[in-house]
Amino acid sequence: MYDEAPERDAAIEDDTPVQEPRLWQGNGWTAKVIKNEDDDGWAVAMIKDGEPEPALVGPWTMGRDKKNPKPLDQAAFNTLVKTASEVIRRHEQQLHAMLHKSTVVATGQGELKVTLDIVPDEYEPYALLTAFDEMGEQVAQVRVEPTFKLSPASAYGWIENDFRAPR
């Protein structure tokens, strides 16, 4: 039989966040101060846990000796986490805006909201063109090319064509 306590202590140590002058971890993020490849300066890379690439890379301040980087601290790390999180949020908003579009069309039976949702499949991308009535009930849906341009005119044309798939 063996003593499990050393393994448990090692696991506890593994869970503690790293807080070193050039490496800081916490809140699902890692900040790494790295040598700037383009010049003599320093940069900081913010990497979200589980992601292969940094979400943000930016310049980092030189220390007092004008040779080494300023050490990371809690305040700087918190600011970097906030900035990197904002970068990711804006990227997600931009991607959502590119993949999901909508317009409203007035018809004789009332207004219809028409949406275009692009499915960016690697091999066979497509889009779904969907119409909803004023109560939010789906009236029609067809599969279209991902390059379909949704506009009030194209939506109206689809509606007038009895919701048949545009060509």
pLDDT value at 42 more than 80: yes
Percentage of the chain lying above the pLDDT 70 cut: 91
Sign of dihedral through CA atoms 74, 75, 78, 80? negative
CA separation for the pair 54, 46 (Å, rounded): 5
Give the pLDDT of residue 15: 63
Q: What predicted TM-score, i.e. pTM, was given to this entire model?
A: 0.68
Inside any domain, residue 130:
yes
Domain encompassing residue 50 = 5-72
Tell which wins on pLDDT, 38 or 86: 86
Average pLDDT over residues 92-106: 95
Helix (H, G, I), strand (E, B) or coil at 92: helix
Question: What's the mean per-residue pLDDT of the chain?
Answer: 89
Give the pLDDT of residue 5: 41
Inside any domain, residue 115:
yes
Q: Do 62 and 10 fall within a single domain? A: yes
* Tally of domains in the chain: 2
Give the pLDDT of residue 63: 86
Average pLDDT over residues 65-76: 92
